[in-house]
Amino acid sequence: MSSPELYRPIELTFEGTAAIPTDRTPLTVRLRHAASRTEHVVPGFWDGGTTYRVRLAPELEGDWTWASESDDPSLAGRDGAFTVERGADHGPVRVAHRFHFAHADGTPFRPVGATAYNWLHQDEPLFTQTVDAIAEAGFNKLRFMVFPQGGGYVEHVPTLMPFEKTDGRWDVTRPVPEFFQRLDRAVELLGERGIQADVLIYNAYDRGQFGLDELTEEEDAAYLRYLVARLAAHPHVWWSLCNEFDQLERPDDRWDRTGALLGEIDPYDHLRSIHNWIELYDNNQPWVTHASIQNGSVTTDFGRANLYRDVWGKPVVLDEIKYEGDIPERWGHLDAEQLVHQFWIATVAGCYASHGESFVTESGSLHMVEGGPLRGDSPARLGFLREILEGLDVVGLDPIDKWDDPAHVAGIPRRQYVQYLGRSAPTSWSFRLPIGVPGERVEEGDVFEVDVIDTWNMTVTPVGRRFTVTEVQRNDAYDRVSEPVALPEGAAVALRITRIGG
Amino acid sequence: MSSPELYRPIELTFEGTAAIPTDRTPLTVRLRHAASRTEHVVPGFWDGGTTYRVRLAPELEGDWTWASESDDPSLAGRDGAFTVERGADHGPVRVAHRFHFAHADGTPFRPVGATAYNWLHQDEPLFTQTVDAIAEAGFNKLRFMVFPQGGGYVEHVPTLMPFEKTDGRWDVTRPVPEFFQRLDRAVELLGERGIQADVLIYNAYDRGQFGLDELTEEEDAAYLRYLVARLAAHPHVWWSLCNEFDQLERPDDRWDRTGALLGEIDPYDHLRSIHNWIELYDNNQPWVTHASIQNGSVTTDFGRANLYRDVWGKPVVLDEIKYEGDIPERWGHLDAEQLVHQFWIATVAGCYASHGESFVTESGSLHMVEGGPLRGDSPARLGFLREILEGLDVVGLDPIDKWDDPAHVAGIPRRQYVQYLGRSAPTSWSFRLPIGVPGERVEEGDVFEVDVIDTWNMTVTPVGRRFTVTEVQRNDAYDRVSEPVALPEGAAVALRITRIGG
């Protein structure tokens, strides 16, 4: 408890009785920040035997006090105080600038995610290899499921399950501490490697194998309260309510209520989304912080993914755009060039995307199911994309002339732009920008530098000349004087255009 | 009152006092259908002097009774009965099959709309010429505004205004009967010509000229009640809450409330939408029956407009996709070929579109502002499109393999399909269809006929051979035996593919 760090979890341990029903919160801690009078009510949880825990995550520097409350006298009435100092953690990721993300301390976060649905349920060494592989590739978010996966391409059936059974039925009032302690460690491991944990709370892949998709709404809620109490203090947690929610035959309003409950009970207000199969969820629901979308086709051509931004007015993360791999199903046999291409299209649409790999592994499974080493050629290029994004001067890329720019230039007007020329560049590019919006319009005399980015060969080549706007038309601005920029014809090229004066 | 026809308005006239404030409903009529026990409470309205009216629109055949209620004894306590018989009217247009429209009697309705915002405020002969022109071209919906338009391209300023002024401010408690009687006649005129009246209730084009966009929310509501009481009995009325709503600086929740009010007070539950400028409205709001969208870019390429269907799960009418014309603004200088092309793209995206014309007229205005004769080359082709749509066996076209079909085939699986090949057809087409969904999958042996539609030259040419599916793959079905269909190379061609057996 000495010198807690800003945003880092602080765990309080209590010894109580084992008789407290775990279908409700056994204790809470009221957490107060002296200077700002900020107050959180943080739920605790049972962790086996007579042990109870509460995990605090202070998001402000300075002096905090806490006091426990419970129906159980052995858990109630404890209190304490601590002083929080700034450390190395940037804090939870939040929505920033409407369509983008930043950590609580303001540091922009650009998700370039990976997927290994059933990772949590694998044994060593696969479990650790997976984290090594995605960290080394440069991914900064991992989508994985709490409940195990059944069905095709699943070759490993876990023995450790989240609940005990009572009369042959999962009993959410009896969570299995070992299961959730393993989940704790999994989330911590991702955090240590700089990877956001995109936790899929429910899933549609049970396929009758485990029966965990047959919980009632009340049982789902009890599990949700337990999960949030355990994990929410980790700064790098994102909540994804369900993967392919519409594969489950449930009315949408059940998801509305469960999502709203998640928003209410998480004292730290982590990012919240829900991921679709064929039917899209109403991402205008207030509990949804960003859209998590499955639809590869919006990244196969320009002018599509940006439409999702408009309709929800929230960040759009294209969490399933098909996979690099070699299986017969069309969702699993993209070549690496195509997947990288689709990431760049997502980027200039002002959106983000996630990777998945579907080469058949030795066990007969897929990386996007069980994890393991990555074999594809896209991860290195996606790590390079992440570096490009992290090197931008702007928090995120927005389509400048969102419906009408034939070049689909994205950025912040008069500051910095990215234009992606597709899988096969022409021989040259002449300086041209969309003019921007009133108050942020490119003007004659504005001076820019241009870098040529080879998205596949992972090079950034400054053109080494300056471009000055000589003509501003109704919708476009041009440098009519400078020579065109020679391009590596046929390569998958993007341009970074940065204003340096004028 | 003799032999009222199904869906047709019945007007009851009352003589009351002139002292009733018109900021609330002066009387209502309770309308009861004996056999079904259906009941409506229909609001009445003041129509000048001591005259009040209530307009009934029975939507069931058989015996109805009615009784008036009012705080004014001279309006209260009247009653009557009538028997409704089926006539020629198909009744109000409703949402059908989730993404499409049909009249109350089940007859499909395929909107191919026109636009003349300020039509209501023009003098003769322009006023009548407009209706003649759009009816003769074959349009079946007209978007027009109740409040007059100010700003660019508006050359005619009306003298007849909707309200009296009190202390220099519009007084919504004192509507001008002559204004609304003229509106009545305008709506009736459209009905007589088979044109749905898409009534723009508020608009963002006042530009400080009239001050009608400065009404408070309460004043807007008083006007809305009056308008609905007058017009809702017309079967062919559609409500469009506002044109380019987001040009007005109002919080979205004001629109939410006004839209919800509209849904509550319309006894006949007409179609309701709201039309955007740059920011999209949350069309998931329950009061919205269909999305009315401005965004031309979703019809300039395949695979875009269909995304809107997914996110709202409602019909999508692309009510502004730019205009055929010759003005410098890029929203107003499409050539006819391009506009017709965009309508066909909207069609195979499972959406509908509206026409507008922006050649500068002799007065210095535009057709889409004031109306008049049409001069463009697109209207004839859009009339042809409407004929094609009305000749379909299916209520509407849905993308079959909505995100993944490279050919963007639309229709109803195993029944009828339309494929649009774009502005420039190849020399030939080989029979291929997306397989459809489980339960509606194309099977080996299915037999089809194919018609070649030249969308510009307005011809339908049967191929005159039958095609039999010989191979069903994972996603596509083929006739590998038949010769390819020769096409008019370079023409804007669509194919109609109809199953006739197998």
Q: What is the CATH number of the domain that holds B50?
A: 2.60.40.10
Does A286 contact chain B (CB < 8 Å)? no
Phi-psi region of A364 (alpha: psi -120 to 50; beta: other; left: phi over 0): left
Q: Is residue A428 part of a domain?
A: yes
Q: How far apart are CA B188 and CA B235, in angstroms?
A: 10
CATH of the domain at A472: 2.60.40.3950
Q: How far is B31 from chain A (nearest CA, A)?
A: 34
Q: How far is B259 from chain A (nearest CA, A)?
A: 17
Q: What would the mean pLDDT of A374-389 be, rounded to a whole number? A: 98
Q: How many CB atoms lie within 10 A of CB A311?
A: 24
Q: How far apart are CA A281 and CA A403, in angstroms?
A: 24
For residue B83, what are its two tokens?
């028997």
Q: Where are the beta strands (DSSP E) in B97-140?
A: 100-103, 108-109, 112-115
Across the interface, whether the CB atoms of B307 and A298 are under 8 A apart is answered yes
Across the interface, whether the CB atoms of A311 and B280 are under 8 A apart is answered yes
Mutate to test the interface with B, among A283, A287, A297 (most CBs of B within 10 A): A297
Residue A23, pLDDT > 80, answer: no
Q: How far apart are CA B183 and CA B227, in angstroms?
A: 10
Q: Mean pLDDT score of chain A, rounded to an integer?
A: 96
CB contacts of B404 in chain A (<8 Å) are: 296-297, 330
Across the interface, whether the CB atoms of A307 and B312 are under 8 A apart is answered no
Q: How far is A163 from chain B (nearest CA, A)?
A: 36
Q: Is residue A1 part of a domain?
A: no
What letter would DSSP give residue B418? Answer: E
C-alpha dist (Å) from residue B209 to B152, B157, B166, B213, B216: 11, 10, 18, 10, 17
Query: A291-294 and A79-84 as β-strands: parallel, antiparallel, unpaired?
Result: unpaired
Does A475 contact chain B (CB < 8 Å)? yes
Q: Mean pLDDT score of chain B, rounded to an integer?
A: 96
Q: Which band of pLDDT confidence, cut at 50, 70 and 90, is reported for residue A52?
A: very high
Does A436 contact chain B (CB < 8 Å)? no
Across the interface, whether the CB atoms of B307 and A307 are under 8 A apart is answered yes
Tens of pLDDT, residues B184-224: 999 999 999 999 999 999 999 999 899 999 999 999 999 99
Whether A22 and A168 share a structural domain = no
Mutate to test the interface with A, among B276, B297, B308, B402 (most CBs of A within 10 A): B297
What is the pLDDT, as a whole number, of residue A17?
Answer: 85
Could you tell me which of B303, B227, B299 has the C-alpha nearest to residue B265?
B227
Could you tell me which of A213, A220, A166, A172 has the C-alpha nearest to residue A23?
A172
Q: How far is A162 from chain B (nearest CA, A)?
A: 34
CB A366 within 8 A of CB A114: no
A484 residue type, one letter = P
Q: How far is A279 from chain B (nearest CA, A)?
A: 7
Across the interface, whether the CB atoms of A312 and B307 are under 8 A apart is answered no
Whether A215 and A357 share a structural domain = yes
Q: Is residue B71 part of a domain?
A: yes
Q: How far apart are CA A254 and CA A268, in angstroms?
A: 23
For residue A209, what are its two tokens?
């194998």
CB B233 within 8 A of CB B9: yes
B144 residue type, one letter = F
Residue A49, pLDDT > 60, answer: yes
Q: What would the mean pLDDT of B427-447 be, rounded to a whole number? A: 95
Q: Is residue B5 part of a domain?
A: no
Whether A169 and A306 share a structural domain = yes
What is the pLDDT, as a whole number, of residue B485?
Answer: 98
Q: How far is A308 from chain B (nearest CA, A)?
A: 8
CB contacts of B304 in chain A (<8 Å) are: 303-304, 307
What is the pLDDT, as a whole number, of residue A1?
Answer: 47
Q: ipTM of the predicted structure? A: 0.95
Does B295 contact chain A (CB < 8 Å)? yes
Across the interface, whether the CB atoms of B403 and A279 are under 8 A apart is answered no
3-state helix, strand, coil split of chain B in percent (to 5) is: 20, 30, 45
Does A333 contact chain B (CB < 8 Å)? no
Q: How many CB atoms lie within 10 A of CB A36?
A: 9
Whether B343 and B467 share a structural domain = no
Pick A311's closest partner by Cβ from B304, B311, B328: B311
What is the pLDDT, as a whole number, of residue A2?
Answer: 57
Does A281 contact chain B (CB < 8 Å)? no
Tens of pLDDT, residues A352-374: 999 999 999 989 999 999 999 99
Across the interface, whether the CB atoms of A330 and B296 are under 8 A apart is answered no
Chain A: residue whose CA lies nearest to B286: A282
Whether B279 and B377 share a structural domain = yes
Residues in chain A: 502
Those of residues 398-417 in B touching chain A at CB distance below 8 A are: 403-404
Does A252 contact chain B (CB < 8 Å)? no
CB B146 within 8 A of CB B120: yes
Q: How far is B1 from chain A (nearest CA, A)?
A: 47
Residues in chain B: 502
Residue B437, pLDDT > 90, answer: no
Q: How far apart are CA B442 and CA B405, in angstroms?
A: 15
Q: How far apart are CA B76 and CA B14, in angstroms?
A: 9
Across the interface, whether the CB atoms of B280 and A304 are under 8 A apart is answered no
Q: Is residue B260 part of a domain?
A: yes
Whether A169 and A64 share a structural domain = no
Q: Is residue B4 part of a domain?
A: no
CB A460 within 8 A of CB A394: no
Q: How many CB atoms lie within 10 A of CB B3?
A: 9
Whether A359 and A218 share a structural domain = yes
CATH of the domain at B330: 3.20.20.80
Whether B252 and B188 share a structural domain = yes
CB contacts of B474 in chain A (<8 Å) are: 328-330
Longest CA–CA separation in chain A, Å? 81
Could you tell me which of B336, B309, B291 has the C-alpha nearest to residue B410?
B309
Whether A97 and A80 share a structural domain = no
C-alpha dist (Å) from residue A94 to A290, A315, B204: 10, 10, 35
Tens of pLDDT, residues A290-326: 999 999 999 999 999 999 999 999 999 999 999 999 9
Across the interface, whether the CB atoms of B301 and A296 are under 8 A apart is answered no
Across the interface, whether the CB atoms of A403 and B295 are under 8 A apart is answered yes
Across the interface, whether the CB atoms of B311 and A403 are under 8 A apart is answered no
Those of residues 347-406 in A touching chain B at CB distance below 8 A are: 403-404
Tens of pLDDT, residues B223-267: 999 999 999 999 999 999 999 999 999 999 999 999 999 999 999
CB contacts of A300 in chain B (<8 Å) are: 303
CB contacts of A307 in chain B (<8 Å) are: 295, 298, 304, 307-308
CB contacts of B283 in chain A (<8 Å) are: 311
Domain boundary among A341, A367, A390: A390
Q: How far apart are CA A108 and CA A89, in angstroms?
A: 13
Whether B441 and B424 share a structural domain = yes
For residue B33, what are its two tokens?
């259908």
Number of domains in chain A: 3
What is the pLDDT, as a whole number, of residue A353?
Answer: 98
Q: Is residue A411 part of a domain?
A: yes
Residue A180, pLDDT > 60, answer: yes
Q: How far is A259 from chain B (nearest CA, A)?
A: 17
Q: How far apart are CA B112 and CA B380, in angstroms?
A: 12
Q: How far apart are CA B491 and CA A281, in angstroms?
A: 40
Across the interface, whether the CB atoms of A403 and B328 are under 8 A apart is answered no
**Residue B50: exposure state from Cβ atoms within 10 A (0-12, 13-18, ≥19):** middle
Pick B310's closest partner by Cβ from A280, A284, A329: A280
Chain A: residue whose CA lies nearest to B405: A297
Q: How far apart are CA A314 and CA B475, in angstroms?
A: 33
Q: Is residue A169 part of a domain?
A: yes
Domain boundary among B84, B113, B134: B84
Whether B383 and B492 share a structural domain = no
What is the pLDDT, as a whole number, of residue B439?
Answer: 87
Across the interface, whether the CB atoms of B279 and A474 are under 8 A apart is answered no
Across the interface, whether the CB atoms of A297 and B403 are under 8 A apart is answered yes
Q: What is the interface size between A and B, counted as CB pairs within 8 Å?
A: 64
For residue B291, what are its two tokens?
């999305």
Percent of chain B past pLDDT 70, that is, above it, reads: 99
Q: Which domain holds residue B493?
A: 400-501
CB B236 within 8 A of CB B191: yes
CB contacts of B296 in chain A (<8 Å) are: 403-404
Provide the β-strand partners of residue B416: B412, B498
Whether A73 and A99 share a structural domain = no
Indicate if the alpha-carbon torsion angle A388, A392, A397, A399 is positive or negative.
Answer: negative
Tens of pLDDT, residues B95-123: 999 999 999 999 999 999 999 999 999 99
Q: How far apart are CA B233 and CA A217, in angstroms?
A: 44
CB contacts of B300 in chain A (<8 Å) are: 303
Query: What is the helix (H) or strand (E) element at residue B143, kind and residue range?
Result: strand B141-145
HSE-CB at B223 with a 13 A cutoff on CA atoms is 26
Domain boundary among A84, A114, A136: A84
Start-end of H helices in B162-284: 177-192, 217-231, 252-265
Q: How far is B460 from chain A (nearest CA, A)?
A: 32
